Structure 1
């Protein structure tokens, strides 16, 4: 089975998802910095790792498919 290049809509969705994951990472980092309990700080740290894994997976998907993307606009 041949993998097809992503459509512009799919790339836009992935870019939006990456932006959302980045925002979640920043929010969790702020919570770690201001956490009032060790349990809350620990949970926020775990969530940073989870969101970073999601972000990395999305980045990998884009970079993997970038190799097969057309170099000229499609008609």
Structure 2
């Protein structure tokens, strides 16, 4: 069985993940805000599903960062 060792993320990859986290947070807020003011139950249900989906994306991104935290260089 072959094990793959994780490599440290590059600064470009870290920036991409940080941007993605910001985007997911923004989408969660926008969907939740719109769901709270809509009067159409079907649209509200769809928006709440989008909120859950974006929360899962956000958790995936944060977990990826946490898994690579031990590989990050320390600052002196």
Q: Where does residue 28 of structure 1 map in the other structure?
A: 31
Find the aligned partners of 1:44 and 1:35 in 2 and give their Cα distance. 10
Could you tell me how far 1:72 is from its partner in structure 2?
A: 4.4
Determine the structure 1 residue equivalent to 2:65: 62
What is the aligned-residue RMSD (CA, Å)?
A: 1.2
> Counterpart in 1 of 2:43?
40
- Displacement over 2 Å in runs of 4+: none
2:16 corresponds to which residue?
13
For 1:50, the equivalent position in structure 2 comes to 53
TM-score by length of 1: 0.91
Larger deviation, residues 61-70 vs 37-46: 61-70
User: TM (normalized to structure 2)?
Assistant: 0.90
| Unmatched runs of 5 consecutive residues or more in structure 1 | none
- Cα distance in 1 between the residues matched to 2:41 and 2:75: 53
